[in-house]
Structure 1
Amino acid sequence: MAGEERLDGGLNEVVRIGNTVRRPVGPWSDSVHELLTELESHGFAGAPRFLGTDDEGREILSVVQGERPWPPGPMLFEDGLLESTAALVRRYHDAVEGWAPATRRWQRAPVAVGEPEVICHNDIAPWNLIAQDGVATGFVDWDTAAPGPRMWDLAYVAYTFVPLAAPENRGPMGWPDPVRVRERLALVRDAYGCSQQQWQLLLATIPARVRAAYDTMRIWAAQERPGWRAQWEQPEPWRHGAGYLRDLAYLGASVKDWQ
């Protein structure tokens, strides 16, 4: 189509036309579209608007204005971005609590996630965050949204934003050392407004959430899902999810010290 600008869409072929983004649809898309429409009705500005489908059958979404703090750079290292991200997650969770779409067909991960409390985004990470002036303003790429526990989303925020990566993984990603892990975890806790029970649950959930990310990549790559095989076959040091395994070893040795 004339005027298309190819975007970095991760696992999908994504293009921008004017102030809209066009993306392929899947069996889960009707539920995602209901979710985005529900968020719009609540006045939640942190998600794209669903604007219909085009002649090629792609979904049409509004552009969430701002910039992505990825790859890692100065904006991502600021405490203010971390705090505003956790606070935006809380506003999102509160907006959808108790809601479910009519279709209820999601792209669910092939692993157990726990008892559902809300519709989780399931991939809130720096590569799916939009920010303006160092403040988180929106999330994109909602294809893997599905029911799950609140702490499932927040655990992935902690993992990818603090970050809770093994020290040997931080350098290749562009993160500086050392990371003020305890302080930045506390910012996530306080900005989200965790109760003491949620805080303990968050710490317990983080390793399970990272294991789920590893297992999902492994399983969906074996099933030849579009894009996932390429993720699994990344060059070293990430090949076959090796980075996740190093992170899991680091978490196993460290979580008890973050209480």
Structure 2
Amino acid sequence: MSAKNRAQNAVEEEELTGGGTTRVVRVGDTVRRPVRPWSPAIRVLLQRLRAAGVTGVPAWRGVDEQGRDAFDYLPGEVGNYPVPRQVRTDTALVTAARLLRSLHDASVPLAYRTDLPWQEPPMKPAEVVCHGDFAPYNCVFRDSVAVGVIDFDAARPGPRRWDLAYALYRFAPLTSPDNKDGFGDPAEQARRARLFLDSYGCTSEERHDALEAVVPRLRALIAFMRDAAANGDPNFARHIEEGHAELYQNDIAYIESQLPRWSASVV
């Protein structure tokens, strides 16, 4: 490749930061991601969501000449760490919860499909298609409003509480004081958790179920990371080496210590 062509490619492709395990680049008004075995399921999911009127998800544009999936680029600020100020606002919290609700409700017809190759097996009860990684770093914000969600690699059918639990962990956020990605004291974390769940439209029982699912959700994340690392995934091996699993363990201990207090105000 000539120096001129290399320079043109450098201009045309802009690597997007924040993606922990997948190299993602922007090309004009599109985003390009590697095709994975579960990509056909993600394409069907995005097409279903958009057909149902959910505008905050990228449209799939096909496969490019390098064999990568091409999606719409959603303009705005992604809530990568350290969490930007606009993403810490109540407006961001409320609109993210409503966005998650719209995704879930629109995905219901796909929750019962058994022919789609999700990355992980469906969970029971399969109420909706869970995003699987609904967090500020996978949401797009404009003027503190959550206007989009990206990175559906971890999507699979499952119960609403599975997504809600992880969203609480990331948005409230239900993290220990030692976690530099977190903020707020226990009372503020409880207030934000309740606001998120109320904005989603949870009943008292659903709030209880979501809060009780936070620890199992984090334990499942640790197990997934360790299994992936053991199977040769260098990204998750690096995450474990950097102390991510230990960080989640510390947060689990903190959450368990606060659950009785949080339950009183959240549920």
**TM-score, structure 1 length as denominator?**
0.91
Deviation of 1:177 (Å): 4.1
1:106-127 CA-partner distances (Å, limit 9, x unpaired): 1017xx9542111110001111
1:182 CA displacement: 1.7
Larger Rg over CA atoms:
2
Moved more, 7-16 or 50-59: 7-16
The range that moved more, 86-95 or 65-74, is 65-74
What's the CA shift for 1:168? 1.2
Q: Does 1:107 align with 2:119?
A: yes
Aligned partner of 1:195 among 177, 191, 203: 203
* Alignment of 1:74 onto 2:85: yes
Mean Cα displacement is larger for which, 99-108 or 136-145?
Answer: 99-108
Gaps of 5+ in 2: 1-7
SS of the equivalent of 1:122 reads coil
Residues in 2 aligned to 1:77 and 1:52: alpha-carbon distance in whole angstroms? 35
One of 4, 7, 32 as aligned partner of 2:13: 4
Change (3 A) 1:252 1:113: farther
| Matching residue within 243, 247, 252 for 2:251 | 247
The residue number in structure 1 matching 2:4 is none
CA, structure 1 residues 127+53, in 2 after alignment: closer, same or farther (shift >3 Å)? same
- The alpha-carbon distance between structure 1 residues 184 and 198, as it changes in their structure 2 partners (threshold 3 A), is same
Alignment identity in percent? 37
Output the CA distance in 2 between the equivalents of 1:19 and 1:97.
29
Report the equivalent of 1:227.
235
User: Higher relative contact order by CA 8 Å / sep ≥ 6: 1 or 2?
Assistant: 1
Alpha-carbon RMSD across the aligned residues, in angstroms, is 1.7
Q: Kindly tell me: are residues 257 and 135 of structure 1, through their superposed partners in 2, closer, same or farther at Cα, counting changes over 3 Å? A: same
Pairs aligned (count): 250
Indicate how the Cα distance of structure 1 residues 209 and 43 shifts in structure 2: closer, same or farther if over 3 A, else same.
same
Please list every run of 5 or more consecutive structure 1 residues that lacks an aligned counterpart in the other structure.
Answer: none
CA distance in 2, matches of 1:176, 1:185: 13
From 35, 40, 52, give the equivalent of 1:25: 35
Matches within 5 A, 1:26-45: 26-45=36-55
Asked whether the 8 Å contact 1:31–1:102 carries over to 2, the reply is: no
Aligned to 2:189: 181
Amino acid at match of 1:181: Q
* Matched residue SS, 1:163: coil
